[in-house]
Amino acid sequence: MMNKLLTIVIALSLAIGCNNESKKTNDTIEAKKISLEELVSSNEELNNEMITVSGMVDHVCRHGGQKMFISDKSGEIRVLIRVTESIPEFDIALEGSDVEVTGKLIASVISPMEEDLMGEGNHEGSGDKEGEDCASEEDSTVAEEQDACTTNITYHIEAVSFAELTIE
């Protein structure tokens, strides 16, 4: 009788301990949920912050699924999403789906020389959409319009999690 009671107490202790640990790991990712429009208007203030945005996947790079682009309903705002250790790759089947992405907003500085080197690029034989170029991210990311004598700052999100949204 005492052994059964001891076994039950140990099992309950382990169950409670595991539940508390899982709550801690869920709380470690605190992200501000914003729209793509808010991202465009506040990208400098949000740099290096954890954010959550939603949009439609309009392209997944065919070279290993390391990047995808999401856009707003109008298609005017387009943001680059990159994989991280927690997400090995994006599936091409996501194209056309609505997703919610959580990740860190990162600014990248691209000089005019780097921009010229990256060019209007094309991945011959890549299977990407005509005119798409995963190498020329600055054309497809949230960017500040600046003249050719300065550097361009582009923003992308390094995703730590994402989920496909279902429309009801």
Report the CATH number at residue 53. 2.40.50.140
**Do 130 and 57 have their domain in common?**
yes
**Do 19 and 36 have their domain in common?**
no
**Do 2 and 77 have their domain in common?**
no
Supply the range of the domain harboring residue 17.
1-30
pTM of structure: 0.63
Token pair 């699924």 is found at: 65
**Do 37 and 25 have their domain in common?**
no
Tens of pLDDT along the chain (168 residues)? Answer: 656 655 565 655 555 554 443 333 344 568 999 999 999 898 889 999 999 999 999 999 998 899 999 999 998 999 999 999 999 999 999 999 999 999 999 998 866 655 555 443 333 233 344 444 455 444 444 444 444 455 678 899 999 999 999 866
- What does the pLDDT read at residue 148? 47
- What does the pLDDT read at residue 4? 62
d(CA 97, CA 93): 8
**Do 73 and 94 have their domain in common?**
yes
Number of domains in the chain: 2
Using DSSP's 3-state secondary structure scheme, residue 93 falls into helix
**Do 128 and 56 have their domain in common?**
yes
- What does the pLDDT read at residue 21? 35
**Do 14 and 38 have their domain in common?**
no
- What does the pLDDT read at residue 32? 94
d(CA 6, CA 79): 56
**Do 65 and 139 have their domain in common?**
yes
**Do 70 and 8 have their domain in common?**
no
- What does the pLDDT read at residue 129? 42
- What does the pLDDT read at residue 111? 63
